[in-house]
Amino acid sequence: MSLGAVLVYYTNPGSLQPVWTPLPISWLDNFTGNYTFNYAYALTKEKITMHFYFAKVAGAVTPVLSTYTVPTIRVKVVSIAGKLGYSPDQINRLCQLSYRDAQYVLHFAD
């Protein structure tokens, strides 16, 4: 997409009520506190690539990604084609909105 924006949201698989949270997201491992779990995405003109990775906290050891079972998540991708009429700063803030707030601002439905 040469003009527009892409917003990506995920919902935590362990959550009782699905809350759509914007990506990227990072949270600390609750058991050891030695690393963070991270979900992110990269956008090119023709595709969206999802990323899952660990980041060390203070030189700690992380799990081995090649043998780690990555949790299954649900993802929503909102693609907005065309010229938005927003500044880069406004687009950055738009990408950080919750899914419901983005629905309200951009006037779209599920």
Residue of 14, 44, 34, 38 whose CA lies nearest to 24? 38
Element (H, E) at 79: strand 74-81
- State mean pLDDT over 97-106: 75
Cα separation, 65 vs 8, whole angstroms:
23
- State mean pLDDT over 80-88: 70
Cα separation, 46 vs 52, whole angstroms:
20
- State mean pLDDT over 90-107: 74
pLDDT, position 2: 59
The predicted model scores a pTM of: 0.71
pLDDT, position 103: 76
pLDDT tens digit sequence for 23-63: 998 988 877 788 898 999 998 877 889 999 998 887 778 88
pLDDT at 67 over 90: yes
Whole-number Cα distances in Å, 52 to 9, 81, 93: 14, 27, 23
Q: How confident is the model at residue 1 (pLDDT cuts 50, 70, 90)?
A: low
pLDDT, position 38: 92
Cα separation, 101 vs 85, whole angstroms:
18
Contacts of 91 (CB under 8 A, 6+ apart): 5, 84
Cα separation, 63 vs 40, whole angstroms:
18
Per DSSP, 62 falls in state P
